Amino acid sequence: MNIKDEVERQAINERHAQRMQRKKQLIDEKIASAQIRRGLIVMNCGNGKGKSSSGLGMVMRALGHQKKVGVVQFIKGAMSTGEEKFLRRFPEEVEFHAMGEGYTWNTQNRERDIAKAQAAWEQARKFLNDPTIALVLLDEVNIALKYHYLDVQMVIEDLQQRPPMQHVILTGRGALPEVIAIADTVTEMQEVKHAFKSGVTAQECIEW
Amino acid sequence: MNIKDEVERQAINERHAQRMQRKKQLIDEKIASAQIRRGLIVMNCGNGKGKSSSGLGMVMRALGHQKKVGVVQFIKGAMSTGEEKFLRRFPEEVEFHAMGEGYTWNTQNRERDIAKAQAAWEQARKFLNDPTIALVLLDEVNIALKYHYLDVQMVIEDLQQRPPMQHVILTGRGALPEVIAIADTVTEMQEVKHAFKSGVTAQECIEW
């Protein structure tokens, strides 16, 4: 490397360090002004991939921090999934309930779907009343709410009355605005591209 | 329930069943036309929550299906996370490498960041050459690409030359268009609301 290149390299590195110092100052100020610790309602909605899997990732984090976790799956249950096989290995750490029978177009039975959704909510409520459970994942609950299989006011009250440090994650398409309103962190998973539309089937590891 | 209500209830259930039968037909046709099985490149990008956690959820699914997993974290590494604590419990099933030292505004050292990113890519490449690994998570790799700490053409070539059934998940803000172009499933995690902006600090189980 000649001297000119070396001088230029040092100048780039120096500018980078200065930019990052300024950035760090701004970020440190933001961090200093965000010091509240409390249980959150996290909502993963939208049509893209990643709603349930992100919930499962937070389950993994909670298990890493040696917290107890409760999972209720509102739609899944008709087939065994990777998450079910995995989480059943830790019965002391995770209480796992897959209480659905498949999507509404598979079951084709509204009254049975309603009964299943309500039974699943009974289980969810047990978790929401249990302060030893640090994190509750209510997977695909948005779908049960969208079809009015669950009363949204009842759901909101149960969520708001949970232990103050407990986190709850809600997932699924078609999130109701009333539920979005009471959530703390809401992400819309937007589909930019999906392999299924290029002819790729739903595959293990990725979708289930 | 009087007879009028009972008749109405049956009519609602009947209409529901018919609608769901039609929906199932459409969905079955779509499923029938998507039968390819192959390894996917899954990209989780955008500014919202859920990019890394969704990747971890797919790691969990793969473990449930008794597959071997490789994880490289490009930014994380300066502090211990829930996912690290958890995944280190399964050394036979997951090879886990947290090879970063924090965000660029924390490290403030461009040359050191570049060296770290390149070392992390060397590890990623080992996974991408190993057909016994079913799923590879390259967490926050988009950030290393955005800052040009890694050569994008090299990364694309290594991804494209991997074993045909191997899935790879890339996460992070600022995804480059060249990488989006070769991905199979791309989701933009869009922030609708974030607890941090309401004064809530980054909390264990949720963010780490």
B4 interfaces chain A, CB cutoff of 8 Å: no
| B41: helix, strand or coil | strand
3-state secondary structure at position A35: coil
Handedness of CA B14, A111, A162, A167 (dihedral sign): negative
The pLDDT assigned to A77 comes to 79
Residues B146-181 have pLDDT tens digits of 999 999 999 999 999 999 999 999 999 999 999 999
Instruction: Give the span between the Cα atoms of B159 and B167, in whole angstroms.
Output: 10
A164 and A191 assigned to the same domain: yes
Q: pLDDT tens digit string along A43-53?
A: 999 999 999 99
CA distance B142 to A170: 27
Q: How far is A122 from chain B (nearest CA, A)?
A: 23
CB atoms within 10 A of CB A77: 17
For A:7-36, CB contacts with B below 8 A are: 12-13, 16-17, 20-21, 23-24, 27, 30-31, 33-36
Instruction: Read off the pLDDT of each residue in B9-36 and give the average, rounded to a whole number.
Output: 93
Residue B1, pLDDT score: 67
Left if phi > 0, otherwise alpha if psi is -120 to 50, otherwise beta: which for B126?
Answer: alpha
Q: Give the residue-averaged pLDDT of B44-52.
A: 97
Task: Judge whether residue B39 has pLDDT over 70.
Answer: yes
**Average pLDDT, whole number, for chain A?**
95
Domain annotation covers residue B205: no
* β-strands B41-45, A94-98 pairing: unpaired
Question: Average pLDDT of A150-169?
Answer: 98
Residue A89 and residue A134 in one domain: yes
Q: Are residues A8 and A64 in the same domain?
A: no
Phi, psi of B85 (to 5 degrees): -55, -40
Please answer yes or no on whether A57 and B61 come within 8 Å at the CB atom.
no
Query: Which pLDDT score is estimated for B155?
Result: 98
* Gap from A34 CA to chain B (nearest CA, Å): 4
- Please, what is the average pLDDT of chain B? 95
For residue A78, pLDDT beyond 80: no
Torsion angle (degrees, nearest 10) of CA B111, B148, A16, A29: -110
Please tell me the predicted confidence (pLDDT) of residue A1: 66
Do B18 and B65 have their domain in common?
no
Same domain, A13 and A48: no
Residue B7: the pLDDT is 94
Residue B142 and residue B79 share a domain: yes
In terms of domains, do A27 and A113 share one?
Answer: no
DSSP state of B100: -
Domain count, chain B: 2
Asked if A109 lies within 8 A of B82 by C-beta distance, the reply is: no
Chain A residues whose beta carbon lies within 8 Å of the beta carbon of residue B60: 56-57, 59-60, 82-83, 86-87
Domain membership of residue A130 (yes or no) is: yes
Residue A128 within any structural domain of the chain: yes
Yes or no: say if A176 and B179 are a contact pair by the CB < 8 Å rule.
Answer: no
Query: Looking at the structure, do residues A11 and A104 belong to the same domain, yes or no?
Result: no
As a residue count, chain B comes to 208
A 10 A CB-CB count for B73 gives 23
Phi-psi region of B148 (alpha: psi -120 to 50; beta: other; left: phi over 0): left
Closest-CA distance of chain B to residue A10, Å: 10
Mean pLDDT over residues A198-202, rounded?
93
Task: Please check the confidence at residue B2 and state whether its pLDDT lies above 90.
Answer: no
Is the pLDDT at A15 greater than 80, yes or no?
A: yes
Report if residue A118 sits inside a domain.
yes
Crossing angle for the helix pair A110-128 and A152-160, to the nearest 10 degrees: 10
Residue B203 lies in a domain: no
Domain that residue B150 falls in: 37-198
- CA dist list (Å): B157 to A47, A195, B69: 30, 20, 21
Residues in chain A: 208
- As for the ipTM of the complex, it is 0.95
**Same domain, yes or no, for A75 and A52?**
yes
For residue B56, the chain A residues in CB contact (below 8 A) are 53, 56-57, 60-61
Look at residue A203 and tell me if it is in a domain: no
The pLDDT of residue B69 is 98
Give the mean model confidence (pLDDT) for residues B44-55.
97
| Statement: residue B92 has pLDDT above 70 | yes
| Mean per-residue pLDDT, B31-40 | 93
Clarify whether residues A25 and A69 are in a common domain.
no
Task: Give the pLDDT confidence of A107-123 residue by residue, as tens digits.
Answer: 889 999 999 999 999 99
User: Would you call A54 and B49 a contact, using CB atoms and an 8 Å cutoff?
Assistant: yes
The CATH number for B42's domain is 3.40.50.300
| Of B148, B198, B135, nearest in space to B174 by CA | B148
* CA angle, residues A59, A61, A64, in degrees to nearest 5: 110
Residue A74 located in a structural domain: yes
- Better pLDDT: B33 or B186: B186
B20 plus B81 within the same structural domain: no
In this structure, the answer to whether residues A27 and A61 fall within a common structural domain is no
Is residue B139 assigned to a domain? Answer: yes
